Amino acid sequence: MLGLEAGKVWQGSRPDALGAEFETGTVTLALIVGERLGIPFQASTTPIALQVEDVAAARADLAARGVEFQGDIIDSGVCHMAPFSDPDGNALMLHHRYAPSPGA
């Protein structure tokens, strides 16, 4: 739904895979099925921020595909953010920094 394509899938085909890696440019997200390694599932409540060029447009696209967001877009004074959760309850966030980073 987020448009990330798995670069590598570990141990099995996609439905029964142990995990997968997703390349995001400068960061690789490795997602695993913890239960298959003896790690009980626990949803993460600290959001992973996904950088987008336009938070409002990305939010509208995901909302049209059924993603429910937690309130309106947040403007912190340096960035726009739109928090939501995946179907398992893990916290995610669309993010765009529009102000220069300190020291940039």
Q: Please name which of 67, 99, 98 lies closest in space to residue 83, comparing C-alpha atoms.
A: 67
- 1 pLDDT higher than 60: no
Q: Are residues 50 and 97 in the same domain?
A: yes
pLDDT at 93: 97
Q: Are residues 48 and 14 in the same domain?
A: no
The predicted-structure confidence for 23-58, as pLDDT tens digits, reads as follows: 877 888 888 888 888 999 999 999 999 999 999 999
pLDDT at 62: 94
pLDDT at 10: 85
The predicted-structure confidence for 55-98, as pLDDT tens digits, reads as follows: 999 999 999 999 999 999 999 999 999 999 998 999 999 999 99
pLDDT at 104: 63
Contacts of residue 74, Cβ cutoff 8 Å, sequence gap at least 6:
80, 81, 82, 83
Amino acid at 11: Q
Q: Are residues 76 and 103 in the same domain?
A: yes
Q: Are residues 57 and 102 in the same domain?
A: yes
What's the total number of domains in the chain?
2
Query: Domain range holding 92?
Result: 42-104
Cβ neighbours around 58 below 10 Å, total: 21
